Amino acid sequence: MNKVVYFDNNATTCIAPEVVEAMMPFFGELYGNPSSMHAFGGQVATHLKKAREGAAAFLNCDPDEILFTSCATESDNTAIRGTADFYGKDTKVITTAVEHPAVLQSARRLKAQGHTEIELPVNGVGQIDLDQLRAELKGTKHALVSVMWANNETGTVFPIEKVTEIAKEYGAIMHTDAVQVAGKVPIDVKKVPVDLLAISGHKFHAPKGVGLLYVRKGTKLKPFMLGGHQESARRAGTENVPYIVGLAKACELATAHMADEARALTPLRDKLEAGILATCPNVRVNGDRDNRLPNTLNVSFEYIEGEAIAYHLSDLGICISTGSACASGSLDPSHVIRAMGVPFTAVHGSIRFSLSRYNTMEEVDYVLKELPPVIKNLRDLSPFGPGKGPTTFA
């Protein structure tokens, strides 16, 4: 395969060259343990401190509110289960039906353990009813609200400021999975006063295997990992210094590129969307088209399977996804697409395009050239569709 068009950046991104360069010394001469008392390790601790300060600047918070983790999945688990462990069975967990599995499965485990757990439904564009959130919060003693900032499959951006305001009104703890907005939308935890916020480095050009959890001062949280004093005794284990340094560098680059990246990506996404709608019949755009990330497009092609589309595009060097990368091994339709009430004829034919600052208009043109014949060929082979047989099922 000579040509690769990578449109799966919500799953993972390439590591920026500047990030690789920043990490390299910590694989070589700067290999000391930052917890060591000697100067050789102490110099590494200095770099760790600077990385923490860089990550804090990215979120506009204090450095001691940054908890480095291995990824956002760990951060989400720490936030949700750590809060419930602290407050006990009185904790009511309120989340949404379209969260990442790291949030949904953590919340459902708490339900199995005796906690009250509510998954707010979404409407046809993937947005929750804020009045329903208020109703669920009334009369609660201890509540944890976990609502993602932006959906990983559709790019729908939630009104996180309003959600946080409502949570605070009822004294609830507010957690948000901000994985998909990091590097795309400014995050300021002083303007949006969430208590807990998770991001993952590999979603914005840092390496896989590093993330962070923002923990607002005063937030009660039991440690998720035990066995050491690291991260102010909140997460045991020797810090992954090279990757933490890489994460901090990615934060710096994201801050520098964010506005320009949004201006560049929106026309690419919009041309891709318009081209698909113009050349492929029986297709629908999923999500909130008025409130979404500039890089994400999710579409459903009726009467065919998204997996088949992905396989055929892969043969042409085009990398896309049928949903969350964490659920790619499942043949079940996306829980996000199902929650929005997408018709049965289209729910299995959903695919996601997600772009980054390294993508080009020429790549969009290549996809628009190759995609329509793939869709036509698959539809010709399909036993379903107009005039071919049943298109709805009981």
Please list, in sequence order, all residues whose beta carbon lies within 8 angstroms of the beta carbon of residue 10, skipping any fewer than 6 positions away: 152, 153, 155, 180, 203, 295, 296, 321, 325, 352, 354
Residue 62 is classified by DSSP as -
Longest dimension (CA), the chain: 77
Residue 379, phi then psi, degrees to nearest 5: -70, -35
Contact 135, 169 (CB under 8 A): no
CA dihedral over 61, 67, 69, 74, signed as positive or negative: negative
Structure tokens at 12: 């993972």
* Alpha carbon separation from 378 to 116, 156, 297, 304, 375 (Å, rounded): 45, 28, 21, 7, 5
Contact 94, 107 (CB under 8 A): no
CA–CA gap between residue 78 and residue 130 (Å, rounded): 26
CA–CA gap between residue 380 and residue 99 (Å, rounded): 35
The question of whether 71 is a catalytic residue gets the answer no
CA–CA gap between residue 162 and residue 158 (Å, rounded): 9
* Alpha carbon separation from 154 to 49, 211, 216 (Å, rounded): 36, 22, 29
Residue 158 is classified by DSSP as P
The strand pair at 5-6 and 66-69 is best described as unpaired
From the list 14, 71, 280, 326, the catalytic residue is 326
Q: Which residues are known catalytic residues?
A: 326
